[in-house]
Amino acid sequence: MISRRNGLLILVNSVQGKIAIPFRTADHRRPLSQELTGIRGLAAAVRASNTGGAAAFTAHLDHHHAQEGLPVSQNIFLNVSGILCSWNNNIMDTSVPSELVPGSDSGASVPRLPGSNLREDNTCQRLLGSKGLPHLNGCVPLSHQVAGHKHGVDKVGILQHPDGTVLKQIQPPPRGPREMQFYGMVFAEGCSDPCLLDLQNHIPKYYGTWSSLDSPSDVYLKLEDVTSRFVRPCIMDVKLGQRSYDPFASQEKREQQIRKYPLMEEMGFLILGMRVYNVHSDTFESIDQHYGRSLVKDTIKDGLATFFHNGVYLRKDALWACIRRVRQILYWFYSQRQLVFYASSLLFVYEGLPFSPPSLFLRNPSVIEAVTNAGELWLVADSGQGHEEKTVREGARQEQEVAENNNNNREEAVSWDCTVHIGRRKGAHHHNGRGHALKHGVAAPIVVATATGDRKSVLSEEDNTTQQTGDQKPSPNRNKASPKGPDSHREREKSSGEEEEGWKGPMRGCEGGRQENMEEVEVKMIDFAHVFPSDSQDHGYIYGLKHLLTVLEQILCDAAQSSHPRLLTQQGNRTPP
């Protein structure tokens, strides 16, 4: 059933029980969470295949060599039930040589996935014959999409590939080819333009183009899923700029766009959609484009704040981290005079699962209940001084599982009971059912696979190892796996106060929400169907970014003031509380 030689996994009908998949990761610094993305993708593919079987799994990580310095060999045990299909996610043999992504535009070299999706898709096709899988070789509509053209609704849409990447269907010319050209240019191999190299940090990684063998003329851009490392990703799409039509737009198009949001010029941004995690109910609230269009000058602050409220409190940590990311993007815009962006968006993502020091949220019964309901019980000991311990135990769950968690592959429930321990971290012990994690002297949640196939937290030892070793290998997971990794902009951000100097927003002195959780957010530019060469700064986008920053900072400022009444009487005092 499982070929160790070529890494091909073939699972047949009605498998029930545990399957051990021994694998040696070539890049063992990649967190298990990344590897599991593929497994979740598999389950999604199974569901999509509509074969009538319940597909469910969970995974149990068994570290044989968890101690520092030893080669890592891990077994994943899958509890599988249902009807599954072929799968090759490079998980078993990441030493498979990379191959060109099929259909890559104009032969331009782009960052490639380790292994090849060509191999994967051909495999799938071979095994399934001419029928193939519905939904394009196991790809499914992107279920956590918050805006834009939707698959099955519009003529073009966005899919999720079983390997976890996002597939954006190329729109009709000139939009689609323009966007493809943009990604090809920014990620061109041998690109030495510092401006474009810097831009790579602010956009999803690009893996070339993809198309299904069933339908080769439908071409998709294969992109990093910006949300993939999050357990409960809160996602917001904000369109930037003072004009949401490009200079070549017809009069009709201009009028259509202006009608949609006449305030665009004044505001410089528009919320297109969002989904926000509520810790009380352990559900997401989705907000569509009409909400953003209803916001005016007086309500825009509350409108944006909605994204950072988890039903219990304002996520000041996420807000602050987002502000810093937006500032970095603003600095990029200040530094460049070669591109102009119309109708382009910023995609905000932060972790919805409470990530506060456990001692903090354990005081809040509703939060701990929500977390427990979600399938976790975090047992924390020694919560003050560094070597904190956690054992994450998942209880058996037979009933309804939570959908729309991470990449939204809703898994059917199966009987299971497993405890996951991940403890491979420098200086951490690992023994008998205990994973140790340390982050900034605070216990960090430990990655765990659940009956829903979700990761249950985002930080693992592997993340840290990546940071320490400075792995730069192109991979769809690089950014995700090493949120604190050596990306140049992040290093700069840590090492200098230059950004603070460049932006004189209203927040100076109101940094009460500041926490070191910056790695827990993503803010990426997306949607490049209307990007053009230029020889001057992009004033419309810069205007929008500055206004957006002003509003975000004002939210933080208000929150800091309300939680520090002293500040209310010290307006203008710039000393942080």
Binding residues for ligand ATP (CB under 6 A): 142, 145-149, 158, 166, 168, 204, 223-227, 235, 237, 345, 347, 526-527, 529
Calpha distance 57→87 (Å, rounded): 14
Which residues in 57-165 belong to E strands, given as ranges? 59-63, 74-82, 86-87, 140-141, 158-160
| Cβ 471 vs Cβ 483: under 8 Å | no
Task: Choose between 148 and 435: whose C-beta lies nearer to ligand ATP.
Answer: 148
Calpha distance 119→128 (Å, rounded): 14
CB of 293 to ligand ATP, least distance (A): 13
Task: Choose between 234 and 300: whose C-beta lies nearer to ligand ATP.
Answer: 234
| Cβ 81 vs Cβ 55: under 8 Å | yes
CB of 46 to ligand I3P, least distance (A): 31
CB of 532 to ligand I3P, least distance (A): 13
Calpha distance 73→129 (Å, rounded): 35
Query: What 3-state class would DSSP assign to 187?
Result: coil
The residues, ordered by sequence, that sit 6+ positions from 116 with a Cβ below 8 Å of its Cβ are: 96, 98, 99, 100, 101
Paired with 435 in beta bridges are: 390, 430
Task: Choose between 272 and 449: whose C-beta lies nearer to ligand ATP.
Answer: 272
Residue 566 CB coordination number (10 Å): 9
227, interface contact from ligand ATP, ligand I3P, none, CB < 5-8 Å by kind? ligand ATP
Task: Choose between 458 and 531: whose C-beta lies nearer to ligand I3P.
Answer: 531
CB of 202 to ligand ATP, least distance (A): 12
DSSP H or E run through 348? strand 344-351
The owner of tokens 């009956």 is: 451
Distance of CA 266 to the CA centre of its chain: 31
CB of 156 to ligand ATP, least distance (A): 7
| Cβ 519 vs Cβ 484: under 8 Å | yes
Task: Choose between 244 and 460: whose C-beta lies nearer to ligand I3P.
Answer: 244
Paired with 341 in beta bridges are: 531
Task: Choose between 342 and 543: whose C-beta lies nearer to ligand I3P.
Answer: 342
Residue 332 CB coordination number (10 Å): 17
Calpha distance 275→235 (Å, rounded): 5
Strand 344-351 relative to strand 378-381, pairing: unpaired
271, interface contact from ligand I3P, ligand ATP, none, CB < 5-8 Å by kind? none
Comparing every residue's Cβ against ligand ATP, the nearest one is 148
The owner of tokens 């012990």 is: 429
Task: Choose between 288 and 499: whose C-beta lies nearer to ligand I3P.
Answer: 288
Q: What counts of helices (H) and strands (E) characterise the chain?
A: 18, 22
Comparing every residue's Cβ against ligand I3P, the nearest one is 343
Calpha distance 230→208 (Å, rounded): 24
Task: Choose between 339 and 428: whose C-beta lies nearer to ligand I3P.
Answer: 339
146, interface contact from ligand ATP, ligand I3P, none, CB < 5-8 Å by kind? ligand ATP
CB of 289 to ligand I3P, least distance (A): 5
161, interface contact from ligand I3P, ligand ATP, none, CB < 5-8 Å by kind? none
CB of 230 to ligand I3P, least distance (A): 25
CB of 346 to ligand ATP, least distance (A): 10
CB of 171 to ligand I3P, least distance (A): 7
Task: Choose between 246 and 317: whose C-beta lies nearer to ligand I3P.
Answer: 246
Q: Which two tokens stand for residue 287?
A: 């907000």
CB of 255 to ligand I3P, least distance (A): 12
**Angle CA 44–49–54, to nearest 5:** 70
Which residues in 356-478 belong to E strands, given as ranges? 378-381, 388-393, 419-420, 430-431, 434-437
Task: Choose between 89 and 345: whose C-beta lies nearer to ligand ATP.
Answer: 345
CA distances from 60 to 108, 163, 382 (A): 40, 19, 26
DSSP H or E run through 42? helix 32-49
Task: Choose between 73 and 181: whose C-beta lies nearer to ligand ATP.
Answer: 181
Amino acid symbol at 269: F
Footprint of ligand I3P (CB under 6 A): 175, 260, 289, 343, 529
**Angle CA 496–502–505, to nearest 5:** 115
| Cβ 274 vs Cβ 286: under 8 Å | yes
CB of 522 to ligand I3P, least distance (A): 21
CB of 222 to ligand I3P, least distance (A): 20
Task: Choose between 124 and 529: whose C-beta lies nearer to ligand I3P.
Answer: 529
289, interface contact from ligand I3P, ligand ATP, none, CB < 5-8 Å by kind? ligand I3P
